[in-house]
């Protein structure tokens, strides 16, 4: 079996490693063991879908390493990221005997990682946790960097905490079990790294994108390169006071689209981000900030790989511009009542701005909806 590639997140005494490669679930016990605090109970949080596919392999690995553990299973999907499920999870973990030296293990995609990580941050004023991401989106983005949280009726991820994991295990073999739609949704976050600051990576993806989706060495390479990008940004700006905000390219638009669908799965997060990135490039081009040719490249690549580039991706939905702007106004990146957007001067040249008016955003959204 190939040795995993290691990406380090440099955060001083809170530094940790991301291990990327095939077969990591089967050796998870021996890899997680060194970060555990004594013999305290370990709690594995997962969802019903992941439990059916991967939980037996994972818990067998913990058993072989002598790791004492319990399991808590939640319903799959964004609907589990709410106060009710969080409260139920915390109560169940406390009732099972979780203590401050316990480790919470998030085995699943972004929803499980956000939910379990937030529970770990607030249980007993803070326990440690390990991320074992099982989707492409989680492996390249949400499992790295310590953002945890839940959704509220007001918007996505508006309640949460920065809480860094002790270890991330990204087993690339588990991605072979994902539906293609889920893989494509994760790929949108891979593309993001090229668009915000690495034009050469985007060019590489234009050639190798289909191979990333299909699996094999190209997929591993894409996960590793994405994690390196994320690790460097997090190490430089852990709490999103500056550079880290660039990672939100497409997310202000995307979160508004998700909120308007009620986080029902009608529009996956990665699909919303893909549309949001296309909108960000369109707006940048319209304002004369970005060459039209770069916006066209982004549209063409996303469409060629099978990702949406406009709101019309959701059939039959009538989008309301005012409602979308209302969701954007509640975005957690709003400052002094002004929208904070990530726009671009070109591929690999993203920047953060508060200088775009609501009317300019409105016109961009109206044209996208009309198209």
Question: 185-217: per-residue pLDDT in tens?
Answer: 999 999 999 999 999 999 999 999 999 999 999
Catalytic site includes residue 147: yes
The dotted CATH code for 5-177 is 3.40.50.1970
Q: Contact, 71 vs 8, CB < 8 A?
A: no
- Whether the CB-CB separation of 134 and 50 falls below 8 Å is answered with yes
Task: Name the pLDDT band for 263 (thresholds 50, 70, 90).
Answer: confident
244 included as an active-site residue: yes
**With respect to CATH, is domain 180-370 assigned 3.30.450.40?**
no
pLDDT at position 49 over 80: yes
Confirm whether 269 is a catalytic residue. Answer: yes
**54 among known catalytic residues:** no
The one catalytic residue among 54, 163, 228, 269: 269
Q: What is the dihedral of CA 212, 234, 244, 308, to 10 degrees?
A: 20
Q: Which run of H or E residues covers position 21?
A: strand 16-21
Radius of gyration in angstroms for the set of CA atoms belonging to the chain, rounded to a whole number: 20
Is 180 catalytic? The answer is no
CA 197 – CA 202 distance, rounded (Å): 9
User: Could you give the C-alpha distances from 227 to 137, 140, 242, in angstroms and in order?
Assistant: 11, 6, 19
Is residue 331 pLDDT above 80, yes or no? no
Residue 69 designated active-site:
no
CB of 29 within 8 A of CB of 167?
Answer: no
Q: Where are the domains of the chain?
A: 5-177, 180-370
Beta strands at 5-9 and 42-47: parallel, antiparallel or unpaired = unpaired
Active-site annotation holds for 125: yes
- The answer to whether 18 and 9 are in contact (CB under 8 A) is yes
> 166, 225, 229, 251: which is the annotated catalytic residue?
251
Mean pLDDT taken over the chain: 95
**Same fold for the pair 5-177 and 180-370:** no
């Amino acid at each position: 079996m190939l040795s995993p590639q290691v990406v380090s997140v440099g955060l001083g005494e809170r530094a940790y490693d991301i291990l990327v490669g095939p077969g990591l679930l089967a050796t998870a016990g021996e890899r997680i063991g060194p970060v555990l605090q004594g013999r305290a109970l370990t709690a594995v949080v997962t969802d019903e879908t992941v439990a059916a596919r991967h939980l037996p392999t994972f818990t067998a690995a913990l058993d072989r390493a002598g790791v004492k553990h319990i399991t808590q299973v939640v319903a799959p999907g964004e609907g589990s990221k709410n106060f009710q499920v969080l409260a139920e999870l915390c109560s169940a973990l406390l009732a099972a005997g979780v203590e401050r030296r316990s480790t919470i293990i998030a085995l699943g995609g972004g929803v499980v990682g956000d939910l379990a990580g937030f529970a770990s941050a607030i249980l007993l004023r803070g326990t440690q946790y390990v991320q074992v991401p099982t989707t492409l989106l989680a492996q390249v983005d949400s499992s790295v960097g310590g953002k945890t949280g839940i959704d509220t009726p007001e918007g996505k991820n508006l309640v949460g905490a920065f809480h860094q994991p002790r270890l991330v295990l990204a087993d690339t073999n588990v991605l072979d079990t994902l539906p293609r739609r889920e893989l494509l949704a994760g790929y949108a976050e891979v593309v993001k790294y090229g668009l915000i600051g690495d034009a050469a990576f985007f060019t590489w993806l234009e050639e190798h994108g289909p191979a990333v989706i299909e699996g094999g060495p190209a997929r591993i390479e894409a996960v590793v390169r994405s994690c390196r990008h994320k690790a460097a940004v997090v190490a430089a700006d852990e709490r999103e006071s500056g550079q880290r905000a660039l990672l939100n390219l497409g997310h202000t638009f995307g979160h508004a689209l998700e909120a308007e669908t009620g986080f029902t799965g009608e529009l996956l997060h990665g699909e919303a981000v893909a549309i949001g990135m296309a909108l960000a490039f369109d707006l940048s081009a319209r304002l004369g900030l970005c060459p039209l040719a770069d916006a066209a490249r982004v549209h063409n690549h996303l469409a060629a790989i099978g990702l949406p580039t406009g709101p019309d991706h959701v059939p039959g939905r009538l989008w309301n511009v005012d409602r979308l702007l209302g969701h954007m106004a509640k975005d957690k990146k709003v400052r002094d009542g002004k929208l904070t957007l990530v726009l671009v001067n070109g591929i690999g040249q993203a920047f953060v701005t508060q200088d775009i008016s609501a009317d300019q955003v409105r016109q961009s959204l109206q044209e996208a909806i009309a198209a």
